[in-house]
Structure 1
Amino acid sequence: MLTAACYEHTPIIGQSHERLAFCEDELLKIGRELSHEVHAWCILPNHYHILVHTDQIAALLHALGRWHGRSSRAWNLEDSTSGRKVWFRVVERAMRSERHFGATINYIHNNPVKHGYVTKWQEWPFSSAPQFIDTFGREYTEKLWNAYPVDRYGETWDK
């Protein structure tokens, strides 16, 4: 899982619907180019998460860093805030087990609910949640949610 936040959690990504959509498009383009599979993602006004399967983590982190630089420049010009620090950094977390993987999918999809943007996963337009539910079905999605609840996210990843 890769996570990046805007500096000081300022909602720079969320300045507009177009910016959120652009961030989603660019993140998925980079993720798909340098990964075997993109499993889940969520773009929020001040951070994003993407869960990928890759053997090119260094190249992926480098590409994200370059994109962060380009997007910072573009958004600072757009917002007339030259020199503003947009991104803090990208943090990488390797999946340790099937449990960790399942909980991470739930965590990513639940993020817009956790932060109060929507009440249901599928309501947030900048996430893989609606596609995940369509692909795997409501029954499987509920089974995954019950098997790996996010209220215990991080407690037993290595077991």
Structure 2
Amino acid sequence: MYEYHKLTAEQKAELVKYRLSQGYPPHSPPHPVQDKQFYLLTAACYEHQCHIHTEFRRQQLLDMIFDKFGGSGNEEMSASALTTNLRICAWVVLPNHYHLLVQVENFDVLSDLFRRIHGALSRQWNIEDNITKRKIWYRWSDRAIRSERHYHTTVNYIHYNPVKHGLVKSPYDWVESSVHWYLQACGRQWLRDCWTQYPVRDYGSDWDNF
């Protein structure tokens, strides 16, 4: 993610030139696949600083996400979600990044939704911390879900993420995660069977190393 900062001026210029030749923005991550039904969305804090360091802020972020993105499962969607036709299928919020598994009909709405959420929280958190013009967020990225196996493995990856990053010993110990929603809606045995049938293994070992 931050390898660009380590390049020389000549290497940076060459990389930007190549990206432009491929039709990509000069620095932002490309979004080459925009016609799928499900996506894993990931957003990270700038330089992976832990700006979402309290349960209150993580819940505040989740509340705004559900307000802008929409409901989960069979829950009633908010007014904004009805206009974007977007549903959240799984989620986890960590101190310095978060993951969402979403079903979306119009990929084009995502950039605006992230911009609204991140912009509002950046302003509020900078005021709370008495800091001016601090950059909170770096970017968001997406990964199209390719199959049913990919979908369920992604659910497991999201729920295991707090354990992967050494924050807790069990996925059930992390509050800001959809594992609790699945536990209530589907039961512990369903989660165990899903974990056994769709193991995470080294899922995400390359593309999500921010």
Which residue does the alignment assign to 1:62? 112
Is 2:63 the partner of 1:28? no
1:36, CA displacement in angstroms?
A: 4.2
CA contact under 8 A between 1:7 and 1:85: conserved in structure 2? yes
CA contact under 8 A between 1:13 and 1:19: conserved in structure 2? yes
CA contact under 8 A between 2:92 and 2:159: conserved in structure 1? yes
CA contact under 8 A between 1:121 and 1:130: conserved in structure 2? no
Amino acid at match of 1:71: L
User: What SS does structure 2 have at the residue aligned with 1:90?
Assistant: strand
Residue number among 158, 180, 188 corresponding to 1:130 in the alignment: 180
Cα gap change, 1:39 to 1:10, in 2 (>3 Å): same
Q: TM-score, normalised by structure 1?
A: 0.90
Amino acid at match of 1:4: A
Distance in 2 of aligned mates of 1:42 and 1:114? 12
Structure label with greater radius of gyration: 2
Amino acid at match of 2:55: H
- Indicate the RMSD between aligned Cα atoms, in angstroms: 1.5
CA contact under 8 A between 2:69 and 2:113: conserved in structure 1? no
Q: TM-score, normalised by structure 2?
A: 0.69
Distance in 1 of aligned mates of 2:61 and 2:199? 28
Higher relative contact order (CA 8 A, sep 6+): 1
Amino acid at match of 1:11: C
Which residue does the alignment assign to 1:148? 198
Cα gap change, 1:153 to 1:27, in 2 (>3 Å): same
State which drifts further: 83-92 or 146-155. 146-155
After superposition, residues 1-159 of structure 1 pair within 5 angstroms as: 1-14=40-53, 16-32=54-70, 33=81, 34-153=84-203
State which drifts further: 31-40 or 102-111. 31-40
User: Which structure has greater helix proportion?
Assistant: 1
Distance in 1 of aligned mates of 2:67 and 2:110? 11
Unaligned runs of 5+ in 1: none
The number of residue pairs the alignment matches comes to 154
CA contact under 8 A between 1:100 and 1:154: conserved in structure 2? no
Unaligned runs of 5+ in 2: 1-39, 71-80, 206-210
